[in-house]
Amino acid sequence: MGKLGERFYEIGKGYEVVSAQYKRPYIIGVDINDKEKPFVLASGDHHSDFGAITISLEDLLSEQWKEHILKSNCTEFINELKKAIDSGESFPPRFLVKKVNNE
């Protein structure tokens, strides 16, 4: 699992073809030590423009970020996260801690 800066670990990344010369990146990362806003969503706009936002677990699981989740290839991760939370695990769930720690 790749590191995104000092805090976040990359969960998934994907690209949207914008032109023959540019593929827009979509990235989701996590900081398992942050309980309030543990997820970062980042995407490119043009060749040198890049934006990122930190969001809560509830926001990530809402429909608001569905397109970003799809484009960052994180649908399977979200399904596993929902399953863990629905089964009563608190954040961060065991599977995510193992993933971050490369277990």
Query: Residue 67 is part of which domain span?
Result: 3-100
Count the domains in the chain. 1
pLDDT at 46: 67
- State which amino acid sits at residue 3: K
Q: Give 99's contacts (C-beta < 8 A, 6+ positions apart).
A: 1, 9, 11
The answer on pLDDT for 50 being more than 90 is no
Q: Give 2's contacts (C-beta < 8 A, 6+ positions apart).
A: 9, 10
Q: Tens of pLDDT along 63-91?
A: 999 999 999 999 999 999 999 999 999 99
Query: What is the pTM assigned to this prediction?
Result: 0.88
Q: Alpha-carbon distance 4 to 62, whole Å? A: 23
Q: Alpha-carbon distance 52 to 56, whole Å? A: 14
